[in-house]
Amino acid sequence: MAISKVGVLGCGLMGSGIAQVCAQSGHSTLVLEVDQKLLDKGLGNIDKFLRGGVERGKLTAADRDRTMGNLRGTTRLEDLADRDLIIEAVVENLGAKREVFGKLDTLCPAATIFSSNTSSLSITELAASTKRPSRFVGLHFFNPVPLMKLVEVADTILTDRKVFDEALAFVGTLGKTAIRTRDKTGFIVNRLLVPYILDAVRALEEGVGAIKDIDEAMKLGCGYPMGPLTLLDLVGLDTTEHIANVFFEEFRERRFACPALLRRMVLAGFHGRKTGKGFYDYSGATPVPNDFLVGGA
């Protein structure tokens, strides 16, 4: 079965990026949000990104119009009944994901493939809660979705081989590179990335270096595109705390434990770029490190 009609659940940071790349690759794309305000915000972000691409000479105005023409938004779950593939990118909460998949299970034909962009929850648990566990895979995209070239495709012990191959082929149609991974918490990227960024927070807590120095160290010493604390601000401190908690629950290892500073920053509303403050303050023209976070009284 060739996948041509895609349904994306959620039009937030990840969902809007996923919907954009699907529409940009010529797939008829329908994206769902819980209300019109959030939907307009998400679609507005896509439009802004595409306009930025035109300004940078990365795509033509005709490409942008074609992409927007392939993209529609809805707040009605029933509208997704004709989709070949569902990609879920709603809030990282097992109950919320199970609820939406439960409803779609009765709306979509048996052939529709279900997938989740979860970065920490179990694909097996989600798949097993539906009536189509063999037609369920993990499709894990990276932030910012339109620029990051990788998608992790995760199977479970319940996944049909043909469905897995169709998912791999679909990722190819998006112009992304698919890697195969099994449904183990964190897959490959986050299993390696999460302990690294949590350790950067611990290094800051322990006074090994200041915010800017830790970031410069990994950028210039290892050639990483951005430092770990800048990356944390991009991913979101609240999201990272949640992922750390799920990983720690699974592995019970210190390297996955959420550092005290990160927890307190989340409690204080320092969620990263999305709230305008995290390890850096984003209110001015250029980000300024919040050195007071570890300063003395």
Catalytic residues: 119, 140, 152, 190
Of the pair 5, 219, the CB lying nearest ligand CAA is at: 219
Using the rule CB under 6 A, is 231 a contact of ligand CAA? yes
The full DSSP string for the chain is ----EEEEE--SHHHHHHHHHHHHTT-EEEEE-SSHHHHHHHHHHHHHHHHHHHHTTSS-HHHHHHHHHHEEEES-GGGGGG-SEEEE-S-S-HHHHHHHHHHHHHHS-TTPEEEE--SSS-HHHHHHTSS-GGGEEEEEE-SSTTT--EEEEEE-TT--HHHHHHHHHHHHHTT-EEEEEES-TTTTHHHHHHHHHHHHHHHHHTTSS-HHHHHHHHHHHH--SS-HHHHHHHH-HHHHHHHHHHHHHHH--GGGSPPHHHHHHHHTT--BGGGTBSSEE-SSSS-EE-GGGG---
Size of the site for ligand CAA (CB under 6 A): 17
Name the segment binding ligand CAA (CB under 6 A); options: 137-145, 158-166, 175-183, 277-285.
Answer: 137-145
Under the binding rule (CB under 6 A), the answer on residue 287 touching ligand CAA is no
Report if residue 192 touches ligand CAA, rule: CB under 6 A: no
**Residues 5-24 within binding reach of ligand CAA (CB under 6 A):** none
Binder among 18, 123, 218, 235 for ligand CAA (CB under 6 A): 235
- Near ligand CAA by CB under 6 A, which window of 121-129, 143-151, 246-254, 277-285? 143-151
Choosing from 1, 61, 192, 226, the residue that interacts with ligand CAA (CB under 6 A) is 226
Interface pick for ligand CAA out of 61, 147, 208, 260 (rule CB under 6 A)? 147
151 binds ligand CAA (CB under 6 A): no
How much of the chain is helix, strand and coil, in % rounded to 5? 50, 15, 35
Per rule CB under 6 A, is residue 143 in the interface with ligand CAA? yes
- Shortest spacing between CB 276 and ligand CAA, in angstroms: 18
Give whichever of 73 and 236 is closer to ligand CAA, judged by the CB atom. 236
56: contact with ligand CAA by CB under 6 A: yes
Residue 157: what residue type? I
CB of 160 to ligand CAA, least distance (A): 25
Using alpha carbons only, give the angle 210, 272, 75 rounded to the nearest 5 degrees: 165
Q: Does 296 bind ligand CAA (CB under 6 A)?
A: no
Contacting positions for ligand CAA (CB under 6 A) = 49, 52-53, 56, 58, 119, 142-144, 147-148, 190, 193, 225-226, 231, 235
